[in-house]
Chain A
Amino acid sequence: MNCPSSIEKATEFVRGAKQIIPAGAGTKHPKKDTLGTLDLSGLSGIIEYEPSEYIFSARAGTTITEINELLNKNGQYLPFDPPFINAGATLGGTIACGLSGPGRLRYGGIRDFLIGIRFLNGEGRIIQAGGKVVKNAAGYDYPKLFCGAMGTLGILLEATFKVFPAPRATRTLELTSKSKMAAIETLCNITLTQWEPDALEFYPEENKLLLRLAGNPDALDARLPKILQELGYCDAKILPDDEATIEWNALQEFHWTPRDAYILKAPITPKEIPELEQALSLNDVKRHYGLAGNVAWIATADTKALEEISTILDNLGLAAIKVRGNLERFIYGKTRSHKIHGALKEAIDPLGKFPVLQ
């Protein structure tokens, strides 16, 4: 395995290698000790942080924990709640997997906060795209393209993110309904309110919603009684702060999945959840719906079940991507195949050094 300590060494490796599989901390896709593996965890560290500009730049191998510690000190945060932080996730891996957590609901996901990248293309040339200011419309938007590209388009070296001032307080409500349908209906009602929910997650097995509100403590405490009243039709309770922290942390770290489980991410909308729920309840798989019913996280440790899930998703017209687990295959469910996908990959990686998303 190659673990370069400098950009020069990484460049040298890319120029000489025939096949390259970029890796970060291995929190999602365990690192394999093969000739082509390029371990980027050595390229870490914060390059620039300007609290007054709401931006920071860091090397791709920097852990999110390190970023968060720095941001916390300055009352700022990454609003999209990147997952697997405690597990040791890096910026590069999180970008490559296009992962956002519950907080994506309010201000947007990783694609919306990544504003600049530097990466190595297959020829070993350093390409920069985007910039270091929060507003910029010059050149093609590669930062967005690289979100979710799973390391198939180039080697991320550095990333610049927009950050926001952290809310001063949060309050969490646990809402239990009589049925799944009732819970989904409540969820849809909440998304149309003017409360500006910070996060809204659905636990299908318990007909439960977890709602997070964020803002100034006095404002939240003034609003909560009204919200509770409006939600009178379901069983609503305010979670104590420590309990709430545990709940949100469990979601962010995927504690609800068995350690060895594969995790699929399937974009969905609330309308499609009942059908998917019905189809998946036949199998022994864990599910959770995040972002106010905009993402289904599906977990199973069984590769055979994974195939069944793929068929179920395909039948429902849903696509999914594997975000954890060491299989070569990433794409499940409905696949969309356009010529441009191949043409773009070839244009960006003409020597075919990076993996093909399959």
Chain B
Amino acid sequence: MHFLEELAKTFPEDRLLIDKELLSPYESDGLTAFAVTPRAVLIPETQEEVVEIVRACVKHKVPFVSRGSGTSLSGAALPVETGIVIALNRLNRVIELDPERRIARVEPGVVNIDVTKAAQVHGLHFAPDPSSQIICTIGGNVAFNSGGAHCLKYGMTSNHVLGLKAVLATGEVVEFGNSSLEDTGPDYTGLFGGSEGMFGVALEIILRLLPKSETFHTILAGYNSLEKAGDAVSAIVASGILPGAIEIMDRLAIDAAEAAVDAGYPEEAKAVLIVELEGPQEQVESEKRELETIINASNPIEIQVAKDTTARLKIWKGRKSAFSAVGRLSPDFIVQDGVVPRKRLGEALRRIEQLGKKHGLRVANVFHAGDGNLHPLILYDGTIEGELERGENLAGEILEMCIEMGGSITGEHGVGMEKRSYMPKMFTNDDISFMKKTRTAFDPDGIANPGKMFPEGQAPALTLYGLHPLEKKGIISRE
């Protein structure tokens, strides 16, 4: 029996999509430059159905790409033409929420923010907070080891995954880890995190929850140069304070945020720095005084201290909306998420500016300054001949700069489709061949999310970059 006929026995028409117009929403993810129409989209409602689909794929050697909300910025959920997409959104149950063990056991289609919503009655929250958290799913967060603004202190998604159940690309259903903070033997849970969907599909994930911080102190400082903002970061880091978040935005990004949400950022500033302290009241009180001294000494032109939660959220709203807001300044843009050592941030920004001039393109910068994670937004107009190519070249040169400085090509978006050609610049042939062997153990036929992470393979033709339709509506935003 043919592959789809076999699945049609379980899946009714509305959960096995084959009509072209029904497939079109699945052609792209957050990286809209790429679009591929899959053979079919399967919409399972139970874990058993996911297992059934994967086993059918194994039997017929059909490639599959699992997908949550499709917010990936690296083309992680780009379909394969000969394969299917497994849309996991209906596997969205919080199976267990246990305050005593401080864990949540969830299905992969649960939206990131919904974990915190379910946990907050117990005063708990799920720490990883990618900017797309109101729509991105835990399955995608785990597969790409997503980050957010609070990684310096709390780490990335993998640091909050204690265990998981998954169906591998061999059809085997496995359990790794457990509900405890500790584990025995090799950390398979850790290996599965960030494997970019190439090992299989997670069915259940055990997340670590943390008590919500007792208090927050958020301060925004405006500077007349990016360099001064960068120096302030160095001074904070050297002081021994460990803030929950340290973010910087440049003028272009500030303009975008202002135009979009009227965040009230300083009008004259060339850069703004956002620092957030969080923790027990007395500790924050003590660090607050220290931070104030450091910021005052860093020559800001304006300081705003969030007096209450509303003011705090306003500061964050500007920051979190900055990416999609850049869409107001330019019809198209490319975003990168390379990492450089923190002490070289100033140098990196100067070089990005020079590279932008060289290619005749504007670059807006929003970045997680605490951990050196850059987010240059390269603005271009796809209707002007040659701008897309120049933008691509500029993006590539920025990534090469990150590697040269001893950093990484990706801090939190993953390699996916987008950055795979840069893997050989960061890793040796031996490293990559070792990764491939590992992958083969999980996926001997190469059917799980093929074409991602590794350099070879035919890339689909580039189309215009632009905002995701949901971004245009202001529903989602980027990190």
Name A residues whose Cβ lies closer than 8 Å to a Cβ of B: 50-54, 75, 98, 100, 104-105, 107-109, 111-112, 121, 125-129, 131-150, 152-153, 164-166, 168, 188, 191-196, 215-216, 218-220, 222-223, 265-271, 291, 294-295, 319-321, 331, 336, 338-341, 343-344, 346-348, 357
Contact = CB atoms under 8 A, between A and B. Distances in A.
A193 B280 CA distance: 10
Interface centre among A133, A146, A220, A266 (most CB of B within 10 A): A133
Give the interface size class of chain B.
35 or more
Given A133-B339, A344-B438, 11 more contacts: A133-B340, A134-B152, A135-B147, A136-B408, A137-B156, A148-B183, A192-B99, A195-B280, A267-B184, A271-B100, A357-B185
B430 A127 contact: yes
Contacts of B170: 339-340, 343
Interface of B: 99-102, 122-124, 144-145, 147, 151-156, 158-159, 168, 170, 172, 174-175, 178-191, 193-195, 211-214, 234, 237-238, 240-242, 279-283, 285-287, 339-343, 368, 371-373, 406-415, 419, 423, 426-428, 430-431, 434-435, 437-442, 453
A174 B145 CA distance: 38
A320 B178 CA distance: 12
14 contacts: A52-B238, A112-B155, A135-B339, A135-B412, A139-B431, A144-B158, A145-B186, A150-B186, A191-B102, A215-B280, A269-B100, A269-B179, A295-B180, A344-B188
Contacts of B159: 108, 112
Contacts of A331: 184-185
Contacts of A104: 181
B430 A125 contact: yes
Interface centre among A107, A149, A188, A194 (most CB of B within 10 A): A194
A302 to B, nearest CB: 21
Contacts, number: 268
Given A148-B184, A340-B441, A216 B172 contact: no
Interface centre among B155, B168, B423, B453 (most CB of A within 10 A): B155
A215 B144 CA distance: 33
Contacts of B145: 137, 141
Given A135-B411, A271-B100, A348-B437, A215 B183 contact: no
Contacts of B234: 52
Contact of B240 (A168, A195, A223, A268): A168
A338 B178 contact: no
Given A134-B371, A194-B214, A295-B182, A98 B187 contact: yes
Contact of B428 (A98, A128, A192, A220): A128
A319 B178 CA distance: 10
A139 B181 contact: no
Contact of B101 (A168, A193, A220, A269): A269
Contacts of B153: 107
9 smallest CB-CB distances across A and B, nearest first, come from A144-B190, A194-B214, A267-B180, A219-B282, A267-B182, A347-B441, A165-B240, A321-B184, A149-B186
B195 to A, nearest CB: 6
Contact of B183 (A98, A108, A166): A98
B147 A147 contact: no
A127 B122 CA distance: 44
B408 A131 contact: yes
Contact of A294 (B182, B212, B283): B182
A166 B240 contact: yes
A196 B279 CA distance: 7
A121 B373 contact: no
Nearest to B151: A135
Contacts of B184: 98, 148, 265-267, 319-321, 331
A148 B187 contact: yes
A193 B369 CA distance: 30
A163 B132 CA distance: 28
Given A148-B186, A219-B283, A295-B180, A138 B408 contact: yes
B279 to A, nearest CB: 6
Interface centre among B151, B184, B187, B234 (most CB of A within 10 A): B184
A338 B195 contact: no
Nearest to B343: A52
A136 B191 CA distance: 14
B155 A108 contact: yes
Contacts of B285: 219, 222
Contacts of B423: 138-139
B376 to A, nearest CB: 16
Nearest to B409: A138
A344 B195 CA distance: 14
B283 A140 contact: no
Contacts of A357: 185-186
A145 B180 contact: no
A291 B428 CA distance: 39
Nearest to B430: A125
Nearest to B124: A192
Contacts of B144: 137
B413 A137 contact: yes
Contacts of B102: 191-192
Nearest to A154: B434
Contact of A321 (B185, B339, B371): B185
A121 to B, nearest CB: 6
B194 A140 contact: yes
A126 B147 CA distance: 29
